[in-house]
């Protein structure tokens, strides 16, 4: 038996619905249709009345989730595409994220963002939004890169008493597979050493972890051992694990699929430079998507985001410094 990243997300939601009567799912096309990506397939049938189709109203969808959370429910919101969370941005960052600080009443909502680029999806169905949400206090931002993490972190997201932005990568939905669902999990807030190595550290998250792993394989054949740190959640960001890795390797390359101005890679490099400057044998490097909207055509799209090829080139440059 094998299970995909997408099936793990579906199974986590099924388990949350089965185990906790406070959980419900609300979003566009999530009901009988089972969601645009089938992440809620059959859940409306298995849990009648608890998987509800919403009008195309992202602001009101998040607003209603906040109200339900105040009343003690634990809503899971599907945004269909991460890009479409922008009409709900106000309720997320100004309302959900501030509620606990202002009132001491928790706001346990999970907002699922089908994130990242897939070939042919273009500027409005390809975005990675994690940087925007991580900037705001009061939100937790998860970026699972494995089937196991998609499952266990989604369950933890639902169980947490805070609003969670759950960035699930569309490219991983169907082609990333595991043998089975995990029975135990690394807690949110801890990064994972995806591959040990001694010559340089690549810090990545979400789909970029897999590009980085491919680079590590390639460079291993040339005698270079690359260590890969999978951040798992970008807020909180596990600086300790990153720093420990850089202490071992002395070289840091941080890779992200979102845009180059600011963001996760800038945050990681900034923290390492401020707190671990003496650990570095070379200037820390970062690699991001190009500073344009995400292009539609596969030729352009493949060149827009970091890939194993561009990461390998950046890694070789860093090794020569």
Partner 1 sequence: MLLARTLDEKFASLYRAGKIHGGVFLGRGQEALSVAVGLNLRKGDVFAPLIRDQAGRLAFGETLLDAARTYLGSALGPMRGRDGNVHRGRPREGYLPMISHLGAMIAVVNGTLLARRFKGVLRTVGATCIGEGATSTGSFHEAINQAAVEKLPLVLVIANNQYAYSTPSSRQFACTSLADRASGYGVDAHSVDGTELAACLSVLAEAVERAREGHGPQMVVARLLRLCGHGEHDDASYVDPRLKASPLGRDCLKVAEQNLLSRQWADAVTIEGWRCEAVHKVEEAVATALREPTPDPYKENWCALASKHLVETHPEV
Phi, psi dihedrals of residue 100, rounded to the nearest 5°:
-65, -45
Site string for partner 1, 204-243 (x = CB under 8 A): -------------------------------xxx------
- Residues classed as catalytic: 58, 125
Question: Per rule CB under 8 A, is residue 87 in the interface with partner 1?
Answer: yes
Instruction: Please identify which residue in 30, 111, 176, 188 interacts with partner 1, judged by CB under 8 A.
Output: 188
Per DSSP bridges, beta strands 233-235 and 177-178 are: unpaired
- Locate 222 and state its tokens: 């040339």
Provide, rounded to whole angstroms, the least separation between the CB of residue 314 and partner 1: 27
Residue 77, CA distances (Å) to 58, 59, 86, 165, 265 in order: 10, 12, 14, 10, 27
54 is a site residue for partner 1 (CB under 8 A)? yes
Q: Which of 50-58, 165-173, 283-291, 299-307 is the region at the interface with partner 1 (rule: CB under 8 A)?
A: 50-58
Tell me which residues in 92-121 interact with partner 1 (CB under 8 A).
94-95, 97-103, 105-108
CB 215 within 8 A of CB 114: no
- Sign of dihedral through CA atoms 228, 306, 133, 65? negative
- Could you tell me which stretch among 8-16, 62-70, 169-177, 242-250 binds partner 1 (CB under 8 A)? 62-70
Interstrand relation of 110-115 and 226-230 (parallel, antiparallel or unpaired): unpaired
In the complex, the smallest distance separating the C-beta of residue 162 from partner 1, rounded to whole angstroms, is 5
Contact between 283 and partner 1 (CB under 8 A)? no
CB of 107 to partner 1, least distance (A): 8
b/e map of 204-237 (b: 16 or more CB within 10 Å)? bbbbbbbbbbebbebbeeeebebbbbbbbbbbeb
By CB under 8 A, tell whether 55 contacts partner 1. Answer: yes
Residue choice 20, 29, 59, 225 for contact with partner 1 (CB under 8 A): 59
Nearest approach in angstroms of CB 26 to partner 1 is: 8
CB 294 within 8 A of CB 122: yes
**103 or 292: CB nearest partner 1:** 103
The one among 160, 181, 214, 282 contacting partner 1 by CB under 8 A: 160
Does position 262 bind partner 1 by CB under 8 A?
no
Own/partner pairs for 186-190, CB < 8 Å, 24+ apart? 186/149, 186/152, 186/232, 187/156, 188/140, 188/142, 188/153, 188/156, 188/157, 188/160, 188/232, 188/233, 188/236, 189/233, 189/236, 189/238, 190/232, 190/238, 190/241
Smallest distance from partner 1 to CB 105, Å: 4
How many residues touch partner 1 (CB under 8 A)?
Answer: 51
Question: Where along the sequence are the contacts to partner 1 (CB under 8 A)?
Answer: 24, 49-50, 54-55, 57-73, 75, 87, 90-91, 94-95, 97-103, 105-108, 137-138, 140, 160-162, 188-189, 235-237, 274
């Amino acid at each position: 038996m094998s299970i995909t990243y997408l099936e793990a997300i579906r199974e986590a939601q099924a388990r949350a619905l089965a185990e906790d009567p406070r959980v419900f799912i609300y979003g566009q096309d999530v009901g009988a249709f089972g969601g645009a990506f089938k992440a809620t397939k059959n859940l409306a049938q298995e849990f009648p009345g608890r998987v509800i189709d919403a009008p195309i109203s992202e602001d009101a969808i998040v607003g209603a989730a906040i109200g339900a959370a105040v009343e003690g429910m634990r809503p899971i919101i599907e945004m269909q595409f991460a890009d479409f969370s922008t009409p709900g941005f106000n309720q997320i960052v100004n309302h959900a994220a501030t509620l606990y600080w202002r009132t001491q009443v928790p706001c346990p909502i999970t907002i699922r963002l089908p994130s990242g680029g897939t070939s042919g999806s273009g500027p409005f169905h390809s975005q990675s939004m994690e940087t925007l949400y991580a900037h705001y206090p009061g939100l937790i931002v998860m970026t699972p890169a494995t089937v196991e993490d998609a499952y266990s972190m989604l369950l933890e997201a639902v169980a947490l008493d805070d609003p969670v932005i759950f960035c699930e990568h569309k490219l991983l939905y169907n082609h990333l597979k595991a043998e089975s669902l995990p029975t135990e999990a690394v807690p949110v807030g801890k990064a994972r050493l995806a591959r040990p190595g001694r010559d340089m550290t690549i810090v990545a998250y979400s789909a970029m972890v897999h590009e980085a792993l491919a680079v590590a394989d390639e460079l291993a054949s040339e005698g270079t051992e690359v260590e890969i740190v999978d951040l798992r959640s970008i807020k909180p960001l596990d600086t300790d694990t990153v720093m420990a890795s850089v202490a071992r390797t002395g070289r840091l390359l941080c890779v992200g699929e979102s845009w180059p101005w600011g963001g996760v890679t800038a945050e990681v490099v900034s923290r390492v430079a401020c707190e671990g400057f003496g650990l570095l044998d070379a200037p820390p490097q970062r690699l991001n998507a190009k500073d344009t909207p995400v292009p539609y055509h596969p030729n352009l799209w493949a060149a827009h985001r970091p890939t194993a090829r561009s990461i390998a080139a950046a890694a070789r440059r860093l090794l020569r410094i």
